[in-house]
Chains A and B, each alone.
Chain A
C-alpha cells in the first residue's frame, strides 16, 4: 500500500457563531473568532490517498485527476469565499477547522475512483492543523 499526499491552498473568511447561544456566550467560547464581521486565513490542505501501484502506469493515482478534483470540489468552492455565507455546509455548521476538514472529506470521499481517501489534513495556521480520517 502506498500513501500519496497532494497539497493545495485556499484563502477564506469565516466567523464562529452558535445561533442558539446569546452574544455573550458566543464571545466567551469563541473569543475573537465570534466577531460577526469575520476574519480570514490562508488554509493549507493536504489530502492523502492510499492504494496499490498500478503495474502499467506505476501510479497510485493520476495526480492530474486528483488535482482537478481538489480544484473543483475544494478550491473553486472555498477560495476567496466567505465560508459561513457561501459554502452550503456551513449554513448549519460552524466553519471551525474541524468542520471544514470533515466537509472536505465528505466532498472528496466518493469522487476518487482508483485510490482511497486516507486523511484530510487542514492547516488553519502554520501552528495549528486538524486531521480527519473519516471516523464516526
Chain B
C-alpha cells in the first residue's frame, strides 16, 4: 500500500530580495523591507514529503536515516547559517522562498532515491508557506 511520509527540518539563513533588472526605487517598492541592503534572516521550516509502497519487511516507505542523511548533506549543510545571496544557487535568481523551494526540490530529486519525492514545503514565517511538487499539484 502506498503511504506518504513527511519529515520537518529547520534551518536558518539570511537573504535580501533585490532584482538586478529593476531600479532601486522599483526594488524598494516591490520588495519593501526585504530589500534592505543589509539583509535579514529567517528560521525556515522545511517539510519533505516522500511516497512509496510500504515494505512488508520493514513496514516503512523508506528508512528515515537515509532521508535525514540526504537532507543533511545536500540541503542543510548548503543553506543553514548562510547568506543565500552569496550562494551559487542564487547568483542569477532572487532568493525568494519560491525560488528556494524549487531549488531544494531539485536538489533532493537528484540526491534522494530511496522513495519518490512528492513535494517540498517551506514555511518562511508562520504566516507564509510555499510548496513545490515538480510542477504537479501537491498531494493534500
Contact = CB atoms under 8 A, between A and B. Distances in A.
Interface stretch (A37-45, A61-69, A97-105): A97-105
Number of contact residues on A: which range applies?
20 to 34
B58 A31 contact: no
B59 interface: yes
B92 interface: no
B8 interface: yes
B140 interface: yes
B1 A94 contact: no
A135 B2 CA distance: 6
Contacts of B58: 16, 18, 29-30, 94, 96
Contact of B60 (A20, A96, A135): A96
Nearest to A3: B140
A131 B6 contact: yes
B3 A131 contact: yes
B87 interface: no
Interface in B27-70: 49, 54, 57-61, 63-65
Contacts of B3: 98, 101-102, 130-132
A119 interface: yes
A10 interface: no
Interface residues of B, number: 21
Given A99-B54, A119-B140, A136-B2, A94 B59 contact: yes
Among A31, A94, A98, A126, the one with the most B-chain Cβ atoms within 10 Å of its Cβ is A98
Given A98-B54, A119-B140, A29 B4 contact: no
A135 B7 CA distance: 20
B19 interface: no
B139 interface: yes
Contact of A131 (B60, B63, B64, B139): B139
7 contacts: A18-B58, A96-B60, A98-B54, A102-B54, A127-B8, A130-B3, A131-B6
Interface of A: 16, 18, 20, 29-31, 93-99, 101-102, 119, 126-133, 135-136
